[in-house]
Chain A
Amino acid sequence: MGAPVLMKEPAYPPSRSAPLVWALGAAIPWLAVALGQVVWFVLDGRMPWLHVGVAAATMVGALVSVVVAPIWRYRVHRWEISPQAVFTRSGWLVQERRIAPISRVQTVDTYRGPLDRLFGLANVTVTTASSAGAVRIVALDASVADQVVAQLTDIAALGGHDAT
């Protein structure tokens, strides 16, 4: 084995509204938890120390997943498509770089959840014949996602039909 191979990072960040969407997506379940706690406090106000403890834990959890994680993820997430391969970087605590050759791409899927639609985002999943090899490019602007899908289907010659 020769000199160590260094990989450049993929070039493009996700959409600018990605952190906001991630934060909102995380905030909704945490709001439900907080609401449940308020109801619990109103119904049964004994043991105030327990309420304080649970509320503090909720605050920390919410802070991490609503503020820290989306910002951290935005700083990590990158993607790029070359004529030969798709390359992504994702995650926050656990980070992943994943590369797959376009010649082996089997399907290109676009997914848009309710929040994604509200903010005009889309997620692209590129699957290969291996269940361990799917590459996900998340939180792209819908127009960028359309270009990505068109580009991928074009290169992979998946067929001349509608690109989505």
Chain B
Amino acid sequence: MSSAVWQRLSPRMLLVHPVHEVLKQLPLLIGAIVLGSATQNPVWSLVGVGVIVMLGLARWFTTTYRIDERDIMLRTGLLQRNELSVPRNRIRSVQTEARLLHRLLGLTVLRVSTGQEAKGDNAFELDAVRSDQVAGLRAVLLGEQRDDAPAGEPLASWAPSWLRYSPLSWSGLLTIGAALGVAYQAGLGDVLQQWVLLFGGPWLIVGAVLAGVVLAVGRSLLTYGNLALTRRADTLNLVHGLLKVREHTYDLRRLRGGTLREPLLVRALGGARLDAVMTGVAGAGESSLLLPACPVGTARGVLSELVGNADVVAGPLVAHGPAAVRRRWVRALLVPVGVAVVLPLLAVPGWAWGLWGVLLVACAGLAVDRVCALGHRVDGQWLVTRAGSVERRRDCVQTAGIIGWTVRQTWFQRRAGVATLVAATAAGTKRYVLIDVPAEMAWTVAATASPWVADSVWCA
């Protein structure tokens, strides 16, 4: 496989490319058909379809790839030739994906990630190779031994009960909102107003919310159904999706920790998400996803397994003290107090004060929750920091990966005697923040985590 010859993608793509090309060039195709019917000359339509199909076929003939000892290379393009070369030691992860048509033909798209956010022409994507070649290619690209392809140790697998967290995401409602926006744009506003008259506004809202829930659950089922997270010798394998199967392989040697994310609504039902913190991989989004919203026990179990220390994942944290608590309260109450100052000047009706009361309670709840969350935990191996309410996260980062510390103080923080401590790493989100640590504790945390701080000439 590592012989340095230029190879082509699977010939079955000769069937897939024209279809995809037709879908991609739909405007052009519609133009050709319109032209054909306008000029009463169907030849135009045929020429249009023909050109598009030829373009699709040409993509197969013009795309070749090569894997040699040092680099992997990909040549694409019919008129504008593009050659992309990636050093093999820069390969961080290999992702695969199979859309419906690909799956029917036994094909898989293979994507190589180097950690840089590659877009469009710079993404190394083999679209597509035969599915039975994938395991071998993956092993070659990640420099594994092919022999150790045993099933590995399963860490987590999807259960239908995970679906209960998906109605709590905004994705369904956002989809409906977007659809409504498009409908208005398309001049369907009158139809919508007739619906409001017909069914009544409240029922329509209930219907929209229900539809949003159904959409969100359906989407979650299609995206994460059959998810399985498996640990191999030095890789982590994530497979998910019902129609479009995605497979992501993480290099465990680059794993520097993990982030438990507990958005408010998911947390309310005892759920959490899990992201990997990896060198050279963006800390958010699909490229670092390990588990979608799932029971918090599962997420913690997997992270403990990866980290090898249950205390890091679930152990108690050191709180940040009274000044940090005070600052959470001041910030949360700033908005209600501001509104309370403005409201009397506006001569608002009485119920506005009721709304203000709701706002006050919500802000107070936010402050309490944020105070509860705030904390950190540090030893020679792991730095753990937790913060936030609506988007609560617990970041667990290996201290060996920390390559810089910043102690930041605004004027207000100096007066309150607290500081924001930022650990810089090359992994995940690149900066892991400890909010409002007591100022005298900031360097203690840094020195505990990083011996090079404790041993420096400035450390008394």
Contact = CB atoms under 8 A, between A and B. Distances in A.
B408 A135 contact: no
B430 A99 contact: no
A6 B453 CA distance: 11
A5 B422 contact: no
A94 B441 contact: no
A143 interface: no
Interface in B404-420: 404-411, 414
A98 B456 CA distance: 13
B444 A5 contact: yes
A130 B447 contact: no
B74 to A, nearest CB: 26
B400 to A, nearest CB: 11
A10 interface: yes
Contacts of B445: 1
Nearest to B458: A8
A130 B431 CA distance: 8
Contacts of B450: 101
A130 B457 contact: no
Given A80-B458, A130-B426, A4 B441 contact: yes
A7 B403 contact: no
Given A4-B441, A5-B443, A5-B444, A133 B456 contact: no
Contacts of A94: 408-411
Contacts of B426: 128-130
A94 to B, nearest CB: 5
B430 A87 contact: no
A132 B404 contact: yes
B459 interface: yes
A130 B404 contact: yes
A82 interface: yes
Interface string B355-383: 00000000000000000000000100000
Contact of B378 (A1, A87, A100): A1
Given A1-B378, A132-B431, A98 B460 contact: no
A26 interface: no
A96 interface: yes
B38 to A, nearest CB: 55
Contacts, number: 112
A132 B454 contact: no
B456 A99 contact: yes
A93 interface: yes
B69 interface: no
A135 B406 CA distance: 9
A147 interface: no
Contacts of A133: 403-404, 406, 424-425, 430
A7 B460 contact: yes
Contacts of A4: 440-441, 443-444
Contact of A132 (B318, B378, B406): B406
B430 A131 contact: yes
Interface string B248-273: 00000000000000000000000000
B406 to A, nearest CB: 5
Of A7, A10, A95, chain B has the most CB atoms within 10 Å of the CB of A7
Interface in A91-135: 93-101, 103-104, 128-133, 135
Nearest to A10: B458
B448 interface: yes
Given A1-B444, A1-B448, A7-B460, A128 B404 contact: yes
A2 to B, nearest CB: 8
A96 to B, nearest CB: 5
Contacts of B448: 1, 5
A68 to B, nearest CB: 13
Contacts of B408: 94-96
Of B403, B450, B460, chain A has the most CB atoms within 10 Å of the CB of B403
Contacts of A85: 452-453, 456
Contacts of B190: none
B430 A130 contact: yes
A96 B406 contact: yes
Contacts of B446: 5, 99
Of A8, A101, A130, A131, chain B has the most CB atoms within 10 Å of the CB of A130
A87 B440 CA distance: 18
A7 B422 contact: no
A141 B416 CA distance: 36
A135 B405 CA distance: 10
Contacts of A87: 456, 458
Contacts of B440: 4, 6
A101 B403 contact: yes
Nearest to B448: A1
Given A130-B425, A130-B430, A132-B422, A99 B405 contact: yes
Contacts of A5: 443-444, 446-448, 454, 459-460
B455 interface: yes
Given A1-B448, A130-B430, A96 B458 contact: no
Nearest to B318: A1
9 contacts: A6-B443, A8-B460, A80-B458, A84-B455, A95-B409, A104-B404, A132-B406, A133-B403, A133-B425
Q: 10 closest A-B pairs (Cβ-Cβ)?
A: A133-B404, A133-B424, A132-B431, A129-B426, A130-B424, A132-B424, A100-B404, A104-B403, A5-B447, A5-B444
Given A1-B318, A2-B444, A5-B460, 5 more contacts: A1-B445, A5-B448, A84-B457, A85-B456, A98-B406
Interface of B: 279, 318, 378, 403-411, 414, 422, 424-426, 430-431, 440-441, 443-448, 450, 452-460
Interface of A: 1-2, 4-10, 80, 82, 84-85, 87, 93-101, 103-104, 128-133, 135
